[in-house]
Amino acid sequence: MATSPSDAPSPLAAPRPLSARDIRTLGLAALGGALEFYDFIIFVFFTAVMGKLFFPPETADWLRQLQTFGLFAAGYLARPLGGIVMAHFGDRTGRKRMFTLSVFLMSVPTLCMGLLPTFATAGYAAPLLLLTLRLLQGAAVGGEVPGAWVFVSEHVPERRVGLACGTLTSGLTLGILLGSLVATAVNTAFTPEQVLAYGWRFPFVVGGVFGFFAVFLRRWLQETPVFEEMRQKKALVRELPLKAALQGHAPAVVVSMLFTWVLTAGIVVVILMTPTLMQQLHGIPPAKALAANSVATLTLTVGCICYGLLADRLGPTRAMAIGSGMLLVAAQLFYRGVASAPEHLVPLYAGVGFCVGVAGVVPAVMVQAFPPAVRFSGLSFSYNVAYALFGGLTPLAVTLALKQSPLAPAHYVSAVCAVGLVVSLLLFRGFSARTGIPDEHPAPSR
């Protein structure tokens, strides 16, 4: 039987402030997450280059772009398997062990990507090898992200879960910023011909080194007090954690997946795809597009923390409703504004980037939805399956929709945000009682 919220251990019954140890844990976890997420997303900043290097030269531009985004999407499709396996052992043997293993499993394929032969050298073996490594990356990050959210939320005081999840998410987005900065540096330091010849390899080799450094950092972290108390009281779930989560918390799974859809729309479309789209749709030079993306990712990093604080103050579903509405409007203003006035790219991108910070609220909602004994498995399944479905297919869907309208990215993001807004409003009206997700004060069952 899954542990119910009322039966859950409660090691932190009295409110307490953030301690120096909490801050150290948040800092190390966020930094490690940044380094690992850099490894996962650096690929997207070189999609145009990778398409030219790993597919036949006679391939049409639109087909090459579709194939390259397909390789990018493959990493998302592999996330559920890695997430489910790591979450199973995270609920059974401990959060920290899986939290450290995931970053090691990410660094190896990233390093290998930087050493791959191209199509000119290896023919069709080149894209197949790249696909294999991308799948391994996806399996690793499938355990990393949910595990990180669970890890930090179980370390901090109950009424600071929003801040903890927002800070950790800001660390992940910092990894995107790091990728954008590295890509900008490569495109600035080398000519396009040099990037195609050898410059594209540097970001992947550096990413592998980053990953091994993150493994070292996580040696200093300790197991969460929530899991330690469950282990001492022998309160760990006896059956398969995933089975218990699906049988006892199906409504929470559905709500978590829908909110993850909002997260994917903001991150994948606005942050990861848009630099390439700006180059293709509006003729913006790669260096300028990536520089603007760096600004947007910086405001996203700040936005995650701000929205996390808002979730602690107003409740996660209220913060989710506000954030979804703001991102809906900001997406329309951004894509329409750049189409009519490309010179305003940077301030428009900065504004919509901050609004994507609603991503920092999503884990605060999901952490509350599942009791500790099945929290890792429930959150990991919901998040990774939704990300595989929505995040993996989004690049393909948006790319195809662009053939009908250059504003397809704006319409897609706005439609998904409307779904997030509706779900949040349903939670306000009593649906939270049936999902187990409270509509105020993000205090997960301990």
Residue range 98-132, pLDDT digits in tens: 877 888 888 899 999 999 998 889 888 999 999 99
Write down the pLDDT at residue 436: 55
Q: Is 107 exposed, middle or buried (0-12, 13-18, 19+ CB in 10 A)?
A: buried
> What does the alpha-carbon distance between residue 291 and residue 318 come to, in Å, rounded to a whole number?
33
> What does the alpha-carbon distance between residue 300 and residue 28 come to, in Å, rounded to a whole number?
20
Task: Assess if residue 188 is contained within a domain.
Answer: yes
The contacts of residue 315 (CB under 8 Å, 6+ apart) are: 438, 439, 440, 441, 442
Per the rule left: phi > 0, alpha: psi between -120 and 50, beta: everything else, 443 is: beta
Write down the pLDDT at residue 356: 96
Task: Assess if residue 161 is contained within a domain.
Answer: yes
Which string of DSSP letters, residue by residue, matches 41-80? HGGGGGHHHHHHHHS-TTS-HHHHHHHHHHHHHHHHHTHH
Task: Assess if residue 305 is contained within a domain.
Answer: yes
Q: Tens place of pLDDT for every residue, the chain, 446 residues?
A: 333 333 333 433 446 677 777 788 888 888 878 887 888 888 878 888 888 888 888 777 778 777 787 787 787 778 888 888 888 777 777 777 787 788 888 889 999 999 999 888 988 899 999 999 999 988 888 888 888 898 888 888 888 899 999 999 999 888 888 887 898 889 889 998 999 999 999 999 998 988 888 888 777 777 777 777 777 766 666 667 777 778 778 888 999 999 999 999 999 899 888 988 888 888 888 878 888 988 998 999 999 999 999 999 998 889 999 999 999 999 999 999 999 998 899 999 999 999 999 999 999 999 988 888 888 888 989 998 898 888 778 888 898 888 888 899 999 999 999 999 999 988 866 545 555 565 554 444 45
Task: Assess if residue 399 is contained within a domain.
Answer: yes
Write down the pLDDT at residue 414: 96
C-beta separation of 150 from 223 below 8 A: no
> What does the alpha-carbon distance between residue 58 and residue 317 come to, in Å, rounded to a whole number?
50
- Structurally, how many domains does the chain consist of? 1
Task: Assess if residue 39 is contained within a domain.
Answer: yes
Structure tokens at 229: 């108390």
> What does the alpha-carbon distance between residue 302 and residue 354 come to, in Å, rounded to a whole number?
7
CATH number at residue 57: 1.20.1250.20
C-beta separation of 330 from 337 below 8 A: no
Alpha carbon distances (Å) from 290 to 72, 279, 392: 18, 10, 22
Residue 386: domain span: 21-221+241-435
> What does the alpha-carbon distance between residue 46 and residue 198 come to, in Å, rounded to a whole number?
12
Structure tokens at 72: 């990018």
> What does the alpha-carbon distance between residue 434 and residue 420 come to, in Å, rounded to a whole number?
18
Task: Assess if residue 234 is contained within a domain.
Answer: no
pLDDT per residue as tens digits for the range 246-298: 877 888 899 999 999 999 999 989 988 898 888 888 888 887 888 898 899 89
Task: Assess if residue 12 is contained within a domain.
Answer: no
Write down the pLDDT at residue 337: 93
**What residue type is 270 in one-letter code?**
V
> What does the alpha-carbon distance between residue 404 and residue 393 come to, in Å, rounded to a whole number?
18
Task: Assess if residue 380 is contained within a domain.
Answer: yes
